[in-house]
Amino acid sequence: MTSANPNLADRRRSGVAFWWTMFVGVLLAILGLLIGAGGAWLIALGGSWYYLPTGVALLAAGVLLLSGNAAGVWLYVLTWIATLAWAYWEIGMDGWGLMPRVLAPTVILIFVLLTLPAFRAGHAKRVRDRGCATASAALFIVGCAIGLQHFTPSAQSQEASPVAPVTPPAAGSASGQSPVSPQPDVAIHQAGPNWPVYGGSELATRYSPLKQITADNVAKLTKVWDFHTGDMPSKAATDKYSPENTPLEVDGHLFACSAKGIVISANAATGKEEWRYDPKVSDAAIPYGASCRGVAYYAVPGASADRPCATRILWGTLDAGLIAIDARTGKACGDFGQQGVVDLTQGLGKTVPGWYSVTAPPTVVRGIAVLGAQVLDGQAEDAPSGVVRGYDVMSGRLVWAWDMGHPDRTGAPPQGDTYTRGTPNMWTVAAADPQLGYVFLPLGNAAVDYYGVDRKDFENQYNSSIVAIDVTTGKPVWHFQTVHHDLWDYDLGSQPTLVDIPSTDGKVPAIIVPSKQGQIYVLDRKTGKSLFPVEERPVPSGGVEPEKLSRTQPYSGYAHLDQPVLTEKDMWGMSPLDQLYCRIQFRQASYQGEYTPPTVDKPFIEYPGYNGGSDWGSVAVDTDAGILVANYNDMPNYDQLIPRQKADQIGFRSIEQGGASKRAKDMGDPQMGSPYAIAVNAGWRLSTGLLCSEPPYGHIRAIELKTGKTLGDKPLGEAVENGPWRIPSMLPLDIGTPNNGGPLVTAGGLIFIAAATDDKLRAIDIKTGKVVWQTDLPAGGQTTPMTYEVGGRQYVVIAPGGHHFMETKVGDDVIAYALPAD
């Protein structure tokens, strides 16, 4: 046999080397043109000078490679070294910050070094001869493509306007009501063997005294049962499911509700279904998302166990009903409303399905079921009222209605009239002190979030406030405002938490109020006065309504979750290209720090974004150890007001007008009645799905309850289910993902939490912050777990239903975990 022709093999190697060199040369030239052009644009906007010379160097290196000159290799190596030096100078050894600056250039360095065989003797001339034509054609095509792009540098961000000193507004304002005398015989239904109330008790601490499961044995935790609600989205509702449910458990019976309000009772030890009640909610009634965060349980005092509806389940529905059913049988309570149902649209005036919905459980205190509703955000100034109402838990009779526009009224509006339209609403869950007789309402914003010129005085008084209501009269006792003239959708999404704060004068009954902007306020729950200093700090002015803006905003002296202001170097991406694009967007926008006002001539950056800080998952408090646990988000929004004429052309229409076009829905909200629609890029995302700001995006923090001092803070969530174009990266890196849902703490020294977008339930040692157990969930864990004990065995239960906004898998499981039985 004869060996293969060595000249043929050499020619093949030569061909491969040639085409590889051509590929790398074209790649460098294209990157050089893009980065150089973007760098010039960024300089024009007042940004970093790194990208323009780097782009020129890449272009030159590419041209040299295409012309067969090995100097292109060494020019790229020098550019790479300069990039390392610049990256270190700009952000030091910050791993996430280094990734877009260094990773892609290092990969390209390998590509460039692999071209070296092409420059061996004999190859270089062929590279030069054949490369010139290739280079000319490639650069001509790229040049034409870039020339077609429309680059129009925008004006630089507005400078902060000077603000004059003002007299700080009062932190709390009294309504003139006399305090209600405490009634020691009024019980607080605390978590223990049972989990009888959303949040664990009316105090909403999300704390359980159970301690069978500890940091030492939690590694043995295993799934013991799993049942399905059967409520999965139809084709028409695939992008609108977000169940967010936390079940209750009382005396061995577990009560869960599904996304569209199907209530199911199951044996708490086995998960076997006992009964279900389906309110038959239409897909048309789904507002922003199909959610049922929970139900309320009520036991009639002194009633015999065999009496119908002696124990009852109450909840609100997406189609605006308040339902009461027998907790034993699932049958409607015929003595409540109309055959078990109260129509909550009474007194609202005009509305359409999906505009006025209940997604949170009622808070039952002193026999009154108190609830608000979700009024679909940003539709129109003339929206259904944000009225909060109290109903007799036995009969369904309206006991009182707090309509801030008619403080003189306590009941329903007279015939032909309505509750005041467009007022701030309570879409989340209230907390209560049954002994004090107060229910605490976390309020949202007026019907239009990003424009406030038309707001009435009483709306400005109560928007984004915590309001204490005397549950016996429905009258406000005090209120504390967390944002003055809110133009950022910083409504109070978190359920407040009631605790006793240690002080030099003994324990003070307090209320903890987390907020989307990251401030955590601690108030005396009898008076509304802050127990820690609240500083009214000057904030930016400008925008479209400078004369209406508050010149200060309240900053808590207790604890805060917000991060330092963004700078250009905080921009991120998976490569230098998208990081450059984010830097350009940053420089194009108006950004003066927190509370940058909305603008119409350019985008504005809202940081923190409207997803928090803290959102509806709220916080948990280990009242024995004196530790507050808060998970939170750290992401900006990239928003812009749209003039009405342009908004009409795009297709912005309110839900009452039949809904917006798909393009308009994807952009934001119509805000009809105001001069502007609003475009919202929540999280400031790129087309790849990645965010423009640097991770981590989600955290969990332990705070000393007595002082507000941070005990520990760490990223929450791995990158396994996250990646560009929604492709899971499968990387088990603690990137800190966006999160929705809350924590559960137990006397066993554990924090149980899901919430992150990596579809995991974790147990964290509250003393060390170490994850001591975790398990994969079948769907997104955007909810809050709970725990109870049956037959001497502690169970941890979660209903991982997924979330359309968080882009996690939707599911219908309810799952229980426990230690192995003896």
Among all residues, which ones are annotated catalytic? Answer: 489
Spell out the residues 6+ positions from residue 545 whose beta carbon is closer than 8 angstroms to its own: 451, 452, 453, 487, 597
Q: Pull the structure tokens for residue 236.
A: 């028409």
- Residue 766 · residue 745 · CB < 8 Å: yes
Number of C-beta neighbours around residue 569 at 10 A? 17
CA–CA dist 301, 308 (Å, integer): 13
Number of C-beta neighbours around residue 10 at 10 A? 12
Q: Pull the structure tokens for residue 3.
A: 């060996």
Greatest distance between any 2 Cα atoms in the chain: 109
Number of C-beta neighbours around residue 724 at 10 A? 15
Q: Position of tokens 């605390």? A: 190
Q: What HEC string does 502-559 produce?
A: EECCEEEEEEEECCCCCEEEEEECCCCCECCCEEEEECCCCCCCCCCCCCEEEEECCE
CA–CA dist 446, 471 (Å, integer): 23
Helix (H) or strand (E) run with residue 356 in it: strand 356-357
Find the radius of gyration of the CA atoms of the chain: 30
Number of C-beta neighbours around residue 40 at 10 A? 16
The edge-to-edge listing of strands for the beta sheet with 398-402 is: 363-365, 368-371, 388-392, 398-402
Provide the β-strand partners of residue 323. 315, 341
Cis preceding linkage at 696, omega within 30: yes
The DSSP secondary structure of 14-46, one letter per residue, reads HHHHHHHHHHHHHHHHHHHHHHHHHHHHHHHTT
